[in-house]
């Protein structure tokens, strides 16, 4: 599951305290925080299907958004098999909405659903956002002084119905569509022209982005919320084209590999590798990034952009007491336009730690707060679910 928000780019002590206070408040407000069983709206029907809803408030502060307020609702589901007493792994649907004092709004519905007996896995999302983004340039030679602010709105949808062809291998089509509109360019230095404008970088005026592709997943994890054994492999390829009604033409390829080892109860060592490759006229909003809430967590998602990204990371997860746990993580990776551009001198690293609160005890679903350190300073990420 994805993050809620990110605090990054050398935050002040005040910002850190505000973020920590907001997160502690939210953890205390989680429905699962007071009892052994969650205070979610939960029921188990006649065929022993388990379903529930967890509502929670959202409040946070970042330098990019300022203060933000909203709410989230998580729905979860486990279906019992028609042939035996087993259940599907955890299915999740989540709705999130917020409003910031920096004139940003975000509405986001996403889902990862297993049908009965895991014959199908259906994932997707629908999103609307009024967004304030930052652009420093493309590649690794992008100084902080080159920062410019640009605003845009977008509406997007993505859906992938994947069929289980055996041994937990799921395959199927994936469709993506996004409309970026009402783009406003605003360099940080008012005397300079926008790099996006002068470079005629695709996406600087917004546009429609439509892609068709195929995804293959081999999900052998024992638990999708908190794996302690097994592995996860994913490969996908997409073609975005003007022929589909879009404004951009390019190819996108993604590869993800994760492996998990349970060392003792609730102590897990995990490794993860991510590759994102693009070629063609890629809009700036869809360039590969080094950073974010899932990998290289010490960097903001938009600090370094290029056509391609490759990175690896490792994480150790362990319990503390009650429903609290911690993690320690380290990773390395980089963006590049051509493989010949890769160099140890520009390689980016991230090390850090984080706290976990188990909001759904039986399924081991966590709320998380991570702090990562790297060459650019540090960043704080808060959300629901593990980073990978």
Most confident by average pLDDT, 68-77, 145-154, 180-189, 279-288: 279-288
Q: What is the pLDDT of residues 299-321, one digit of tens each?
A: 988 899 999 999 999 999 999 99
Question: Cα torsion at 270, 287, 255, 108 (round to 10°)?
Answer: 70
Phi and psi, residue 386, nearest 5°: -75, 160
- pLDDT exceeds 80 at position 19: no
Q: What is the pLDDT of residues 88-114, one digit of tens each?
A: 999 999 999 999 998 899 999 999 999
Q: Which range among 210-214, 301-305, 379-383 shows the weakest confidence by mean pLDDT?
A: 379-383
> Residue 100: CB partners within 8 Å, gap ≥ 6?
65, 66, 67, 68
d(CA 141, CA 346): 9
User: Where in 14-104 does DSSP place strands (E)?
Assistant: 41-44, 50-62, 66-78, 91-100
For residue 84, what pLDDT is reported? 82
Q: Which residues of 312-336 are buried (b: 16+ CB within 10 A; e: fewer)?
A: bbebebbeeeebebebebebbbbbb
Residue 302, both tokens: 């938009």
Q: Which range among 48-52, 168-172, 176-180 shows the weakest confidence by mean pLDDT?
A: 48-52
Please report which confidence band the pLDDT of residue 190 belongs to, taking 50, 70 and 90 as the band edges. low
For residue 370, what pLDDT is reported? 93
Phi and psi, residue 36, nearest 5°: -65, -35
pTM of the shown model = 0.87
d(CA 122, CA 306): 30
Task: Say if CB 90 and CB 113 are below 8 A apart.
Answer: no
> For residue 5, how many other CB atoms are within 10 A of its CB?
24
Radius of gyration of the chain (CA): 21
CA angle 176, 178, 183 (to 5 degrees): 160
């Amino acid at each position: 599951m994805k993050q809620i928000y990110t605090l990054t780019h050398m935050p002040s002590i005040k910002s850190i305290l505000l973020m920590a206070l907001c997160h502690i408040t939210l953890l205390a407000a989680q429905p699962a925080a007071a009892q052994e069983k969650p205070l979610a709206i939960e029921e188990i029907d006649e065929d022993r299907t388990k379903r529930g809803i967890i509502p929670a408030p959202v409040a946070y502060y970042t330098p990019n958004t300022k203060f933000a307020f909203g709410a989230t609702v998580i729905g979860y589901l486990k279906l019992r098999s028609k042939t035996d007493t087993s259940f599907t792994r955890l299915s999740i649907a989540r709705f999130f909405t917020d409003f910031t004092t920096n004139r940003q709004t975000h509405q986001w519905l996403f889902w990862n659903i297993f049908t009965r007996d895991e014959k199908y896995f259906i994932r997707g999302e629908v999103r609307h956002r009024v967004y304030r983004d930052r652009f420093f340039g493309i590649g690794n030679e992008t100084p902080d002084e080159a920062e410019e602010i640009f605003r845009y709105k977008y509406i997007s949808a993505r859906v992938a119905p994947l069929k289980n062809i055996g041994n937990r291998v799921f395959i199927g089509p994936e469709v993506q569509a996004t409309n970026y509109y009402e783009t406003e360019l605003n360099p940080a230095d008012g005397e300079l022209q926008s790099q996006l404008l002068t470079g005629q970088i695709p996406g600087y005026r917004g546009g429609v982005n439509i892609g068709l592709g195929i995804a293959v997943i081999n999900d052998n994890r024992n638990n999708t919320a908190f794996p302690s054994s097994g592995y996860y492999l994913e490969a996908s390829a997409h073609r975005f084209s003007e022929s589909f009604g879009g404004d951009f033409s390019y190819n996108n390829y993604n590869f993800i590999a994760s492996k998990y080892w349970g060392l003792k109860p609730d102590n897990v060592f995990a490794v993860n590798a991510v590759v994102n490759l693009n070629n063609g006229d890629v809009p700036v909003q869809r360039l590969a990034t080094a950073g974010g809430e899932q990998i290289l967590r010490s960097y903001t998602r938009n600090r370094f952009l290029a056509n391609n990204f490759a990175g690896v990371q490792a994480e150790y997860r362990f319990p503390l007491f009650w429903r609290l746990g911690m993690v320690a993580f380290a990773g390395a990776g980089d963006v590049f336009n051509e493989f010949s551009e890769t160099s140890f001198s520009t390689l980016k690293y991230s090390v850090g730690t984080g706290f976990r609160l188990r909001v759904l005890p039986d399924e081991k679903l966590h709320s998380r707060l991570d702090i990562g350190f790297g060459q650019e300073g540090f960043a704080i990420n808060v959300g629901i679910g593990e980073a990978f």
